[in-house]
Structure 1
């Protein structure tokens, strides 16, 4: 029977640990699972909660840091130094696996030794609310050559994975190495693209593989639109720089991703511009206290779009933003089109698994 090593890094999330550990042990029938909780010097008593769990179940181990090492070093310690199962999972202490998720992923990986990692849909839910019931009946699976999966990523300029829904072949994890400390906010995006450069990618259709918890402490909450765009562009550039020789036509991939990022930057600039016009209006002064928008936000986003794709200057929305004039019907249509695609990519399961 194939085995699964689950690494659960924890910093001040001790109150979530019971749910997280139970989800990968009690809700995964027929799977050989071991769990390592790594407490990164939490001051909230998380390590005590972890040790209580381990005392009740021999499948659980605890590693406690005396000083805080940060998330990337903690991830890599568990995945590269401890994980020795056939497959491995990295799951934050505030997330959960859905019932049967590990068995479903194991079955695909067992059947397709060329697949380096497998994922499915991740259900997002707000902390304090009961998540919806997970879909657990597989409608089938897809196996994508790594090159083909990567091209989808470059076309969409987007990370389709949140992380807890991924099960990785441990031998591939050890081959490609750990998370990149140079990318503290985008290391997950880079590592999955790195893996796809060395193996195929599996997707489980019709099922929910993990629960991703939304709460005020989530890292993504502090990321602005420009920061997100810049981080994503850096990841794609690094992938092309480091693994370009393994990819087909890297120049075309670069053009695809930069054009898409330019469109997203322009759409974001349009939103900032529109909010600013509302703030300057009589209604806006009542709603927002009369504060003016930060013009630098628009200028920086437009400059980013220009840098990615110089031909963005031909678009009517670009010209309207440069003149600081009103956005007409054509410009608003552009924004709505971009917004629809952005929303689908982030929320729609079809864009997660094609």
Structure 2
């Protein structure tokens, strides 16, 4: 029987703990599962709730910090100092697992020793509302080559994992180390890529693996002002992977150019959309442009920069009203270009 260590960091989420722990211990039949709740000096009754749960179930351990250590240090404490099962999962106290999620993940890792971690599809739900129906019966196992999976991440420039649905081979987690304290908001993106640089990646298909609770205080919530910080953190995450794992990557220079171009385009797109939506007063347009410059010398050649330059000429006040006309003109120009290319190919 495979064993799974589940680390549940908690800060002011005591009111979610019982539901989270129940989804781990009561809905994952056929596995040896242990839980560590780490309360990071919560000012509410989270520690008391955790101790009450542990008193009722010997599979639960509790650690309570006297001083707040922060989420990265808390993660690493559980993953690197405590976890000793075959596999380890990090589950925020405000999330929960789908019934059988650990069973499906462990089955894939048991069958595929080349896979270093496994993830699947998360379901989002609003706190206070009903849980959406989850698929649990029919599921498949897919294993992606780690290098191929990394290539996709660098092409897309975003994370494809919410995080409560991930189960990692404990030996690999210890090999690559813990979360990077320099990446408080993108440490998970960097972690998945670092793991993929050392092993293949498993995916549970056809079934849902976790519930991500949306309640307004989620750490991943990003507002207009935070969009620039999000991009900066993503760049740091990708650059960290290139620095730490460059010798394991087929063509790190090409990957760097790929992701930097992608991030520059993201930044410029957010900048020009601020004109379309009348949000130039709250979106840091100039800082987004400067970020694009940092990412990519010659960023002015990107189509997103040309779109921004057009909107600047029109002006922030007029652009929201003229947006339909601008988009129509751009579309028409695109059709003309496609016609011209077709005409050239036919040699007319």
TM-score range, shorter chain: 0.7 to 0.9
Instruction: Tell me, yes or no, if the aligned pair for 1:194 and 1:243 is still in contact at 8 Å.
Output: yes
Q: Structure 1 residue 13 and structure 2 residue 44: aligned? A: no
Instruction: Give the drift of 1:113.
Output: 0.6
Equivalent-residue separation in structure 1 for 2:299 and 2:201 (angstroms): 33
1:113 matched residue in structure 2:
113
> What 5-or-longer segments of structure 1 have no aligned partner?
280-292, 334-354
> 1:302·1:318 contact (CA, 8 Å) conserved in 2?
no
Which residue of the partner structure matches residue 255 of structure 1? 257
Q: Structure 2 vs 1, CA of residues 108 and 259 (structure 1 numbering), >3 Å: closer, same or farther?
A: same
Normalising by structure 2, we get a TM-score of 0.87
With over 3 angstroms needed to count, the CA separation of the structure-2 counterparts of 1:84 and 1:331, relative to structure 1, is farther
1:129-161 CA-partner distances (Å, limit 9, x unpaired):
112011113442211111111001000001111
Preserved CA contact (<8 Å) 1:141 1:204: yes
| Structure 1 residues 52 and 75: alpha-carbon distance in aligned structure 2, compared to 1, 3 A threshold | same
Relative to structure 1, the CA distance from residue 226 to residue 55 in structure 2 (aligned partners, 3 Å threshold; closer, same or farther) is: same
**Do structure 1's residue 298 and structure 2's residue 303 form an aligned pair?**
no
The 2-side partners of 1:330 and 1:267 are apart by 18
Determine helix, strand or coil for the equivalent of 1:226. helix
Is the Cα–Cα contact under 8 Å of residues 120 and 209 in structure 1 kept in the other structure? yes
Alignment of 1:1-354 (within 5 A): 1-222=1-222, 224-276=226-278, 293-294=280-281, 297-314=284-301, 315=303, 316-323=306-313, 325=315, 326=319, 328-329=326-327
The alpha-carbon distance between structure 1 residues 305 and 124, as it changes in their structure 2 partners (threshold 3 A), is same
More off after superposition, 217-226 vs 320-329: 320-329
**Helix, strand or coil at the partner of 1:141:** strand
Distance 2:283 2:176 in 1: 40
Name which of structure 1's ranges 303-312 and 258-267 shifts more when overlaid on structure 2. 303-312
Cα distance, 1:295 vs structure 2: 7.9
SS in structure 2 opposite 1:123?
strand
Name the larger-Rg structure.
2
8 A Cα contact 2:274 2:283, kept in partner: no
Task: Report the Cα offset of residue 308 of structure 1.
Answer: 2.3
User: How far did 1:202 drift?
Assistant: 0.3
Q: Per-residue CA shift, 1:240-266, capped at 9, x if unaligned?
A: 112111101111111111121122112
Structure 2 gaps, min length 5:
332-348
Find the residue that maps to 1:9 and give its secondary structure. Answer: strand
Work out whether residues 146 and 196 of structure 2, in 8 Å CA contact, stay in contact via their aligned partners in 1.
Answer: yes
Query: Which has the higher mean CA deviation after the structures are superposed, 213-222 or 68-77?
Result: 213-222
Sort the Cα spacing of 1:221 and 1:301 in 2 relative to 1 into closer, same or farther, 3 A: same
1:267 is displaced (CA, Å) by: 1.4
Other structure's SS at 1:221 match = coil
| Cα gap change, 1:210 to 1:217, in 2 (>3 Å) | same
Q: Cα RMSD over matched residues?
A: 1.9
Tell me how far 1:275 sits from its aligned partner. 2.3
Distance 1:275 1:66 in 2: 46
Aligned equivalents of 1:257, 1:330: Cα separation in 2: 30
Q: d(CA) in 2 for partners of 1:321 and 1:183?
A: 34
Q: Is the 8 A contact 1:41 1:68 kept in 2?
A: yes
CA deviation after TM superposition for structure 1 residue 307, in Å: 3.0
Deviations along 1:38-85, one digit per CA (max 9) or x if unpaired, are 111111111111111111111111111111111111111111111000
1:184 partner SS:
coil
TM-score (norm 1): 0.86
Describe the SS at the equivalent of 1:131: coil
Equivalenced residues, count: 319
